[in-house]
Amino acid sequence: MTGLWRDVSDLGTVATVLGVVVGGGVFLGSWAYRGVERSASAVWRSVGEALVVAWAIALLAVMLRPLPYPSDPGPDLAPFTGIPAGLDAGSWEVPAVQLGGTALLFVVGGGLLSARLRWGVVRPALAMAAVAALVEGLQHVLHTGRHVATDDVLVAALAGAVGAAVVVALRGRAGRTRARRGTGVLRAEAMG
């Protein structure tokens, strides 16, 4: 995942078109699968499934794109060695873009999984670690020229946990707000 955001300007259009087409197909397919149920929750479930598919397409498009200037093809399996080396780069932009881009992709993925499947924090973190390990393995097998590192899996797991924690916090806040609204209605009915 090293060099994640270098030379990906042409991928924006491709990932957007693929995401819209496949995501729209997933939305329509899941909508048709739900049959006669045409409630608002059915719409949001279909949207959630489409967003997860669009995220996966964008992730694979960015992560598996071969680099025009390959880096060291050997895997770095020792944890916590690549991040300090990246932070020692000549400028702050390189680690911010590489680590930040990876983290952003997996924060979104963890948040989507937590929102769609109503998971807590641990499951999305483990799922993002598994997805990152799969992507790292594919990068190595497909010879994309990207540096395969254990640190990327750790960053993905942490980022997935952060995204899931945000969704869990928002879900808890929304639940408390609904509960307060509900008790207010009950009090008004009891008084009136």
- Number of domains comprising the chain: 1
Q: Give the DSSP H/E element, type plus range, for residue 64.
A: none
Query: What's the domain range around 20?
Result: 11-191
Q: Using one digit for the tens of pLDDT, what is the confidence trace for 80-92?
A: 676 666 666 666 6
Does residue 39 lie within any of the structural domains? yes
This prediction's pTM: 0.73
Helix axes 40-63, 11-33, angle to 10 degrees: 150
Does residue 187 lie within any of the structural domains? yes
Does residue 2 lie within any of the structural domains? no
Q: Cβ-count burial of 94 within 10 angstroms (0-12 exposed, 13-18 middle, 19+ buried)?
A: middle
What pLDDT does 32 receive? 66
Does residue 53 lie within any of the structural domains? yes
Q: Using one digit for the tens of pLDDT, what is the confidence trace for 14-39?
A: 666 766 777 677 777 766 666 656 67
Output the six-digit token pair for 96.
């911010």
Does residue 34 lie within any of the structural domains? yes
Q: How confident is the model at residue 126 (pLDDT cuts 50, 70, 90)?
A: very high
What pLDDT does 174 receive? 73
Does residue 3 lie within any of the structural domains? no
Residue 94's Cα: distance from chain center in Å? 21
SS3 76: strand
Does residue 1 lie within any of the structural domains? no
Does residue 88 lie within any of the structural domains? yes
